[in-house]
């Protein structure tokens, strides 16, 4: 497979990740497709259990056991040094998870910022130590230079008083500062893709705004692509260019951000948008999505959303898997209503 | 919502349109900081630092603010889930008893008060005992207060479960078999078991998925109408609070900085901190471009708050006076209270 254009960075093709548990097999990701271009910001939206975080873990090959990639390709268009800027296509799904190549990519070219900055930083090391560790792993520099680079990166992520903070422990910092520290670790090398998994969910609104603005600024500076995993539609609207909506391991809709918010097609996307309370819009009752997300061992047959769907067609939605339909270029939806 | 429109006056002289259920005066909760070998007290974290407000019968008062501002502690002090350091919390329990100061209650009286006021917790995963069945969890308040047992208990629990949208057949199951939204319903059923009048909802939907949030908010509203409940709704999500609350109070570092009718607060905020908070909310629409007001510095340390107005180091409107004089919460417009020296001079941006 050759890339159509040299802008392509990553293609997820028919990714399936399963967890074989005693109670049964959980199909956490069940046929995920997604393409990310260089420098693009893509949002992956969905509720808990929809498979958005597992997709990210698959990309980094850190799916926790007993989870396994059982099918699909993770094509990474990797820039190669000294080859005239040629791209080298690597299927991340085919690499050994702890092999040299994957270790070279993980944390260096593809990096991740996690949700909970308190639990994803080591409490017994200073923030400076943790950034220097990342630099030391991937770049051959001396201690002194690593420290200088660390100071520089702390400055770039807007850490107050970098020369003092570099020797602070995570518990001495506020939530916003810790998240800046996490971003600093992620950006300490030269990533092509930053995966941000709910990076602001644990933060206060005022801090959330600062971190999001920082991420936008850094994206401009570094030119990396961002895969933004979140359930917060406000964050999606502000940060992303292209949005993929997931439900129970499947992509149900994807389109550019304006289309998702103003011309959604899938009943689930529509229902989600309608159910949100909005400041300044007064309504006595919210239009709630009925029912609960089914438990992962009992995913309904056919379209997984059919028990909660307003447009449910008996005999079709509960029997056959809906096809993926392109209603217009770049706008796809998995629903029989658009056949 | 049922409300008698008698203009009852709470002795502070504030204009009150309805009948009050709860009155809070000078509420303070200080946590001592102990250090050293002898654990000497070296200072206090002023979690709640002098808060006054009233809650009307049948209304929902929203309490918003960032983490650490004291909103949850305030809610807990109202139930004596934690004991306040100072201040008065008085409930109008019935017309016969009149005002009851819960900090004067002990023994049997306090136990009786606990049937009157209940709490719904944030995290439905840690607030339910995993070793108890639904029957035990929801029925516990009834058993402890010797209000029901045996078959009668099962009937009442079945009723409660049905009322919150859970199937009574699930009564013998354990919490692990339920999703987050269902668990929150279990918690709600439990809080309703003693037929309370007043419920403190502490971030009741923030741990839930978007599609489950709306259901839960609708359920809380239905229950309020059916059982004439009064809510204190503690939350950080302004979209949620704007939807559910009749009046909204904003807290910053242990103090209440603004209190007003919900619509009035969101359309015409009077405190600069409220303006910053509202500008930080991201609208779920890529066509609306908002710009967040930049705020310098970090939230003040409640153990060592700044002089004057606690918000002055981060306030873009601060002047000399704000650094020295502590502003009082005062009624600037009818039913709109704010603690800002400059409330009359500055014009702030509300919700767009």
Percent of chain A with pLDDT over 70: 96
B48 pLDDT exceeds 70? yes
Q: Is B148 on the interface with A (CB under 8 A)?
A: no
Q: Are strands B198-202 and B117-120 parallel, antiparallel or unpaired?
A: parallel
Q: Are B113 and B105 in contact (CB under 8 A)?
A: yes
B218 touches chain A (CB under 8 A): yes
Best of A23, A177, A205, A247 to disrupt the B interface by mutation (most B CBs within 10 Å)? Answer: A205
| Residue B351 near chain A (CB below 8 Å) | yes
Residue count of chain A: 339
pLDDT (0 to 100) of residue A85 = 61
Residue A284 pLDDT greater than 80, yes or no:
no
Beta bridge partners of B247: B61, B261
Cα–Cα distance measured from residue A222 to residue A41, given in angstroms and rounded to the nearest whole number: 13
Per-residue pLDDT band at A245 (split at 50, 70, 90): very high
pLDDT in the model for residue B18: 65
What whole-number distance in Å separates Cα of residue B149 and Cα of residue A230?
A: 46
Under 8 Å between Cβ of A261 and A237: yes
Average confidence (pLDDT) over A269-295: 86
pLDDT digits (tens, 9 = 90+) for A31-84: 999 999 999 999 999 988 889 999 999 999 999 989 999 999 999 998 766 555
Residues of B in contact with A204 (CB under 8 A): 66-67, 236
CA distance B100 to B160: 29
Beta-carbon separation of B180 and A48 below 8 A:
yes
Mean pLDDT of B98-120: 91
A133 phi, psi to nearest 5 deg: -60, -45
pLDDT tens digits, B170-189: 899 999 888 888 999 999 99
Instruction: Report pLDDT digits (tens) over A263-273.
Output: 999 999 999 99
- Asked if the structure places residue B197 within a domain, the reply is no
Which residue from B51, B40, B73, B44 is spatially nearest to B302, judged by alpha carbons?
A: B44
Q: Give me the mean pLDDT over the A280-301 stretch.
A: 84
Which two tokens mark A131?
Answer: 């950034």
**Confidence (pLDDT) at A93:** 93
For residue B263, the distance in angstroms to the closest alpha carbon of chain A comes to 8
Cα–Cα distance measured from residue A133 to residue A188, given in angstroms and rounded to the nearest whole number: 10
Give the lowest-confidence range in A5-9, A206-210, B158-162, B205-209.
A5-9
**CA–CA distance, B13 with A176 (Å, rounded to integer):** 42
CATH assignment at residue B53 = 3.40.50.300
Domain, as residue range, for B307: 20-119+224-335
pLDDT band at B7 (very low <50, low <70, confident <90, very high): very low
Written as six digits, the tokens of A285 are 């009752």
When pLDDT is cut at 50, 70 and 90, the band that residue B13 belongs to is: very low
| CA B257 – CA B53 distance, rounded (Å) | 12
pLDDT in tens, B118-133: 999 988 888 899 999 9
**How far is the C-alpha of A110 from the C-alpha of A12, rounded, in Å?**
14
Contact call for residues B63 and B75 (beta carbons, < 8 A): yes
Q: Does B299 touch chain A (CB under 8 A)?
A: yes
Interface test with B, best of A21, A277, A298, A310 (most B CBs within 10 A): A277
Q: Say if B159 falls within a structural domain.
A: no
Residue B149, domain member (yes or no): no
Q: Convert B15-28 to b/e letters by CB count within 10 Å (16 or more is b).
A: ebebbbbbbbbebb
ipTM: 0.84
B75: in domain: yes
Burial class for B193, CB neighbours closer than 10 Å (0-12, 13-18, 19+)? buried
- Residue B5: pLDDT band (50, 70, 90) is very low
C-alpha torsion sign, points A173, A175, A176, A178: positive
pLDDT at residue B9 greater than cutoff 50: no
For every residue of B231-282, which 3-state class applies, written as one string? EEEECCCHHHHHHHCCEEEEEECCEEEEEEEHHHHHHCCCCHHHHHHHHHCC
* The pLDDT value given to residue B179: 84
* pLDDT tens track for B287-325: 988 788 888 777 888 888 899 999 999 999 999 999 999
**With the C-alpha atoms ordered A123, A129, A131, A136, is the resulting torsion angle positive or negative?**
negative
Of B66, B182, B352, the CB nearest to A204: B66
Which residues partner with B331 through β-bridges?
B337
- The stretch B32-42 carries a mean pLDDT of 82
Residue where the block lists tokens 């209304």: B59
Nearest to A106 by CA among A42, A63, A141: A63
Asked if B284 and A209 come within 8 Å (Cβ–Cβ), the reply is no
pLDDT of residue A83: 54
Neighbours of B314 (CB within 10 A): 20
Yes or no, beta carbons of B284 and A285 under 8 Å apart = no
pLDDT in tens, A12-33: 999 999 999 888 899 999 999 9
C-alpha gyration radius of chain B? 21
Residue B342 lies in a domain: no
Mean pLDDT over the full length of chain B: 89
B-chain CB neighbours of A50 within 8 Å are none
End-to-end CA distance of chain A: 29
What's the confidence (pLDDT) of residue A84? 57
Radius of gyration for the alpha carbons in chain A, expressed in angstroms and rounded = 21
The alpha-carbon gap from A208 to the nearest alpha carbon of chain B, in Å, equals 8
> Is the distance from CB of A183 to CB of A121 less than 8 angstroms?
no
**How close B352 gets to chain A, by Cα (Å)?**
7
B192: in domain: no
Q: What is the pLDDT of residue B31?
A: 92
Q: What is the mean pLDDT of residues B124-151?
A: 92
A16 φ, ψ to 5°?
Answer: -130, 125
pLDDT in tens, B336-348: 999 999 999 999 9
Mean pLDDT of B216-245: 94
In whole angstroms, what is the distance from residue A33 CA to residue A326 CA? 13
In a domain, B329, yes or no: yes
- Give the closest of A207, A261, A288 to B286, CB-based: A261
Q: CA B295 to CA B261: how far, in whole Å?
A: 26
User: Are B210 and A204 an interchain contact pair (Cβ–Cβ within 8 Å)?
Assistant: no
pLDDT in tens, B268-285: 999 999 999 999 899 889
Size of interface A-B (CB pairs under 8 A): 128
Over residues A120-171, the pLDDT tens digits come to 888 899 999 999 988 988 888 888 999 999 999 998 888 888 888 899 999 8
In chain B, the number of structural domains is 1
Please say whether the beta carbons of A110 and A38 come within 8 A: no
Query: Does B3 score more than 50 pLDDT?
Result: no
In a domain, B282, yes or no: yes
A176 pLDDT more than 90: no
Instruction: Evaluate if residue A6 carries a pLDDT over 80.
Output: no
Residue of chain B nearest A287, judged by CA positions:
B214
Angle at B199 between CA B197 and CA B205, to 5 degrees: 145
């Amino acid at each position: 497979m050759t890339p159509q254009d040299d802008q392509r960075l990553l293609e997820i093709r028919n990714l399936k990740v399963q967890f074989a548990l005693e109670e049964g097999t959980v199909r956490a990701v069940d046929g995920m497709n997604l393409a990310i271009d260089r420098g693009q910001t893509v949002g992956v939206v969905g509720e808990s259990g929809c498979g958005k975080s597992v997709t990210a873990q698959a990309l980094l090959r850190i799916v926790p056991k007993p989870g396994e990639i059982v099918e699909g390709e993770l094509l990474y268009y990797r820039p190669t040094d000294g080859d005239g800027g040629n791209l080298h296509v690597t299927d991340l799904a085919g690499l050994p998870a702890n092999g040299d190549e994957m270790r070279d990519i993980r944390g260096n070219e593809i990096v991740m910022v996690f949700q909970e900055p308190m639990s994803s930083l080591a409490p017994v090391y200073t923030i400076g130590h943790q950034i220097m560790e990342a630099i030391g792993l991937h770049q051959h520099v001396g201690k002194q230079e690593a420290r200088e680079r660390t100071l520089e990166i702390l400055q770039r992520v807007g850490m107050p008083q970098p020369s003092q903070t570099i020797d602070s422990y995570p518990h001495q910092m506020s939530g916003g500062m810790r998240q800046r520290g996490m971003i600093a670790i992620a950006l300490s090398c030269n990533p092509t893709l930053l995966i941000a998994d709910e990076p602001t969910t644990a933060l206060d609104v005022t801090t959330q705004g600062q971190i999001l603005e920082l991420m936008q600024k850094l994206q401009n500076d570094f030119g990396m692509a961002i895969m933004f995993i979140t359930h917060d539609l406000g964050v999606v609207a502000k940060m992303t260019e292209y949005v993929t909506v997931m439900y129970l391991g499947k992509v149900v809709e994807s389109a550019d951000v304006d289309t998702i918010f103003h011309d959604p097609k899938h009943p689930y996307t529509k229902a989600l948008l309608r159910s949100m309370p909005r400041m300044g819009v007064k309504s006595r009752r919210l239009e709630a999505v009925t029912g609960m997300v089914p438990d992962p061992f009992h995913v309904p047959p056919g379209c997984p959303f059919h028990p909660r769907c307003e447009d449910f067609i008996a005999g079709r939605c509960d029997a056959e898997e809906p096809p993926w339909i392109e209603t217009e270029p770049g706008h796809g939806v998995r629903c029989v209503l658009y056949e | 919502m049922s409300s008698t429109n008698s203009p009852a006056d709470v002795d502070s002289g504030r204009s009150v349109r309805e009948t009050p259920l709860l009155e809070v005066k000078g509420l303070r909760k200080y946590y001592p900081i102990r250090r050293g070998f002898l654990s000497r007290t070296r200072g206090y974290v002023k979690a709640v630092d002098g808060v006054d407000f009233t809650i009307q019968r049948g209304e929902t008062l929203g309490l918003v603010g960032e983490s650490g501002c004291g909103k949850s502690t305030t809610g807990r002090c109202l139930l004596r889930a934690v004991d306040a350091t100072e201040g008065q919390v008085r409930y109008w329990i019935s017309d016969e008893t009149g005002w009851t100061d819960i900090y004067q209650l002990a023994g049997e009286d306090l136990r009786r008060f606990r049937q009157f006021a209940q709490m719904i917790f944030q995290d439905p995963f840690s607030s339910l005992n995993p070793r108890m069945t639904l029957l035990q969890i929801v029925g516990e308040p009834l058993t402890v207060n010797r209000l029901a047992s045996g078959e009668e208990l099962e009937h009442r629990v079945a009723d409660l479960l049905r009322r919150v949208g859970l199937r009574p057949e699930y009564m013998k199951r354990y919490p692990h078999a339920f999703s987050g939204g269902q668990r929150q319903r279990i918690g709600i059923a439990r809080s309703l078991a003693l037929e309370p009048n007043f419920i403190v909802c502490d971030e009741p939907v923030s741990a839930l998925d978007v599609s489950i949030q709306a259901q839960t908010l609708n359920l809380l509203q239905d229950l309020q109408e059916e059982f004439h409940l009064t809510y204190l709704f503690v939350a950080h999500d302004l979209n949620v609070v704007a939807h559910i609350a009749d009046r909204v109070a904003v807290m910053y570092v242990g103090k209440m900085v603004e209190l007003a009718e919900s619509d009035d607060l969101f359309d015409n905020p009077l405190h600069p901190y409220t303006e910053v908070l509202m500008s930080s909310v991201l609208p779920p629409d890529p066509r609306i471009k908002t710009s967040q007001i930049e705020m310098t510095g970090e939230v003040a340390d409640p153990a060592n708050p700044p002089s004057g107005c606690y918000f002055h180091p981060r306030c873009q409107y601060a002047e000399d006076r704000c650094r020295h004089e502590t502003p009082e919460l005062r009624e600037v417009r009818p039913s709109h209270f704010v603690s800002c020296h400059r409330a009359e001079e500055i014009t702030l941006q509300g919700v767009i």
